Chain A
Amino acid sequence: MLTEKGLWARLRTRLIFTGPTLFAFGTVMIIPFLYGIYLTFTNWDGIAVEQSLVGWDNYIGVFKDTVFWKSFVMTLEYVFITVVLTNAVAFLLAYAVTRGIKAQGLFRAGFFLPNLVGGIVLGFIWQFIFNQVFVFAGQKMNIPLFQASWLADPDKAFWALVIVTVWQYAGYMMVIYIAGLMNVPKDVMEAASIDGASNRRMLGRIVLPLMVPSFIVCIFLSLQRGFMVYDLNVSLTSGGPFKSTEMVSMHVYEQAFLARDYGLGQAEAFVLFILVATITLLQVYFSKKLEVEA
């Protein structure tokens, strides 16, 4: 019924319906991605018209770039901590705002607010808070922890990034958990309640198992965002002090566009892609096994 007669008519329909998307997708994602793999084998400096093939040199360079691995390990720590904290906070918030408290909508709107704003702006706002507000309050109220700016101390700057990340994304993940909580069938909960199950028991035995799909989505999203963090990194700490908070995504950018080593930068980006893809696929694979039927 839905197929035209004649090759030309069919081709025309195909082009009209899928042409623009597939053309843009192909030329913006697929071709650059494949070309990027080729670039990892070259020594392009960003200016020269020609580049020569250098074999596996760039990949060897990736393993020798200690700064890359340092920032990679730090990114792993950052991702692990932010994924755990963001999801814990998000779940708690979602649980709290679905329990029939008045003005739920207002609370949800408030918690979601940071997600409307880009990482650049949020980073600058928090830079001001860490440098001015916390220091002012720390000195006024004599709290040693806040007397010097966190952003000037390598360890504390890392935690500043963690705090702002959790603050930024908890509201987004909360919204996803709310959707999950609302999908928990009411009759199952009622039955459990009649059988005398306590709130805590219902949470552990019914709600959490049924929420596994929401956890998969949220952990997937927070993993991806964590690995790719760039805006916030640039505007909150600019990788400082002394490159101590330069996350891997920012390092790739610096390597390519500032150090003008595009081949090495692209090889590092590609190594990053392989590792992130492996981690996210493993996460999805293993958490799918946990899913239960309602």
Chain B
Amino acid sequence: MLGMAKLCSLIVAMMVFIFPFLLLISNSFKANQAITSDPLGLPASFQWDNYVSAFDKMGYISAFGNSLLITVLGVVLIALFAAMTAHYFVRHNSKLNQYLFFLMVAAMIIPFQAIMIPLVKIYGSLSLLDNKWSLIYMYIGFGSPLAVFIYHGFIKSIPLELEEAALMDGCGRVQTFFRIVLPVLLPTSVTIAVLNVLWIWNDFLLPSLVLTSSEQRTLPLSTFYFYGTYTVDYGPLMAGLVLTLLPVLVVYLFAQKYIIQGVMQGSIK
């Protein structure tokens, strides 16, 4: 009996967590009048127009493309560069490298708000704003401390003999890294990728400061502007939010195990 009660309370808790999403999806198919008169009711007929109009007015394709490019390149470069740096720091444990590593770890405590104003001023005066390549570059800067920290912890546990053997066989340093070290780091790379995808894909404040023109906008930015300009037309607004959610839901459906595991691994270190 007790087990039953526990299961029921878990199901109720679960409903609390997913109900907002179900409500959103249901309302995204309704006409405006049906939404305001009965937000809890199921759609009587499916208003695909909501989606067509949201898709159009959000500039969905462009925003999705920008988000995808920024996230994929940002995450891959953070992981690659951070892995190389952490590897170098562990294998050359000099005083200088210890200081550099400490500096990176210490910098993790700096909140973005303490940096954003000078960041905008410096990159603005260099005419590097409103450019998605600058944004990717900034993500590398902001993302590397945590990534280096996590890789650093993992690389320490890899036996050095593996690399020495490769070097003896005539591999160069870079070749050894790519052929031997990087494949061994794969599980950690998955963790780094998960943490950074969650952050970069959904980030709002940094893109809102860096990207100003509408064709550069990422998905969260275009959602924000879309919502701001169509505040009374609930149907398309709900459809727009669903469109923003959709890619995440699809990825989650397939990579759920890795995502939850990635967050778990990332927290232990």
Contact = CB atoms under 8 A, between A and B. Distances in A.
Interface of A: 1-4, 13-14, 16-18, 20-22, 24-33, 35-36, 39, 44, 93, 96-97, 99, 101, 105, 107-121, 124-126, 128-129, 132-133, 136-137, 167, 171-172, 175-176, 178-179, 214, 217-218, 221, 224, 227-228, 230-231, 234-235, 249, 252-253, 256-257, 262, 265-266, 269-270, 272-273, 276-277, 280-281
A252 B205 CA distance: 12
A217 B267 contact: yes
Contact of B111 (A1, A113, A167, A224): A224
B117 interface: yes
Contacts of B202: 116-121
Given A21-B82, A120-B223, A96 B264 contact: no
Contacts of A1: 160, 164, 167
B189 interface: no
Q: How large is the interface on B (under 10, 10 to 19, 20 to 34, 35 or more residues)?
A: 35 or more
A238 B201 CA distance: 22
The main secondary structure of chain A at its interface with chain B is helix
A110 B18 contact: yes
A128 B198 contact: no
16 contacts: A2-B164, A16-B173, A18-B84, A24-B140, A24-B141, A29-B142, A96-B6, A119-B202, A121-B245, A128-B27, A132-B35, A136-B39, A176-B267, A179-B267, A224-B111, A269-B117
Given A117-B202, A133-B40, A175-B263, A97 B10 contact: yes
Given A25-B145, A101-B6, A120-B220, A272 B111 contact: yes
Given A2-B91, A118-B220, A125-B241, A17 B104 contact: no
A2 B137 CA distance: 30
B204 interface: yes
B6 A273 contact: no
Contacts of B185: none
Interface in B105-132: 107, 109-122
A260 B197 CA distance: 33
Contact of B17 (A110, A124, A137): A110
A227 B36 CA distance: 35
B256 A109 contact: yes
Interface in B206-247: 209, 220, 223-224, 227, 234, 237-238, 241, 244-245
A211 to B, nearest CB: 13
B260 A175 contact: yes
A291 to B, nearest CB: 14
Interface string B54-92: 000000000000000000000001000110110111011
Closest 5 CB pairs of A and B: A28-B141, A118-B202, A17-B88, A24-B141, A36-B118
